[in-house]
């Protein structure tokens, strides 16, 4: 709820507009005046909520798109010499489970391309 109060200048300007309207001569009953104020306040609040909801929707959509672009990890069984392994691949070698931290053809444990997970 605090984010709605972050836009204090816009809220104050809107309240001044309402005050100006109230000071102009109109032929309305107090009930009609109240209804008019409530309607304007509802529209303004809906606009604030709508903008925030759109921001949140766009942020979530962007994050989902990033997650969808990630390659899922692949378990490729026993490490084979000469084979190319993509980053995030998992293999077994020397009785241990290894995770590739980069694209590599290196033997697990001989450089920083592999991280041992079990063993």
The overall longest dimension of the chain from CA atoms, in Å, is: 90
Lowest mean pLDDT among 26-40, 50-64, 76-90, 99-113: 26-40
List, for residues 11-22, the tens digit of each pLDDT value. Answer: 778 777 877 777
Cα–Cα nearest to 97, from 86, 108, 112: 108
DSSP E strands: which ranges in the chain?
74-78, 89-93, 96-100, 114-118
């Amino acid at each position: 709820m605090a984010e709605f109060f972050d836009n204090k200048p816009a809220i104050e300007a809107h309240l001044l507009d309402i005050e100006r309207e109230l000071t102009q001569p109109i032929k309305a009953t107090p009930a009609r005046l109240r209804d008019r104020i409530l309607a304007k306040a509802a529209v303004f609040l809906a606009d604030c909520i709508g903008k925030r909801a759109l921001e949140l929707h766009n942020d979530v959509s962007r994050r989902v798109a990033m997650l969808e672009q990630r390659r899922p990890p692949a378990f490729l069984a026993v490490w084979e010499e000469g084979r190319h392994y993509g980053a995030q691949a998992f293999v077994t070698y020397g009785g241990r489970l290894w995770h590739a931290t980069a694209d590599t053809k290196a033997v697990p444990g001989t450089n920083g391309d592999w991280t041992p997970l079990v063993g």
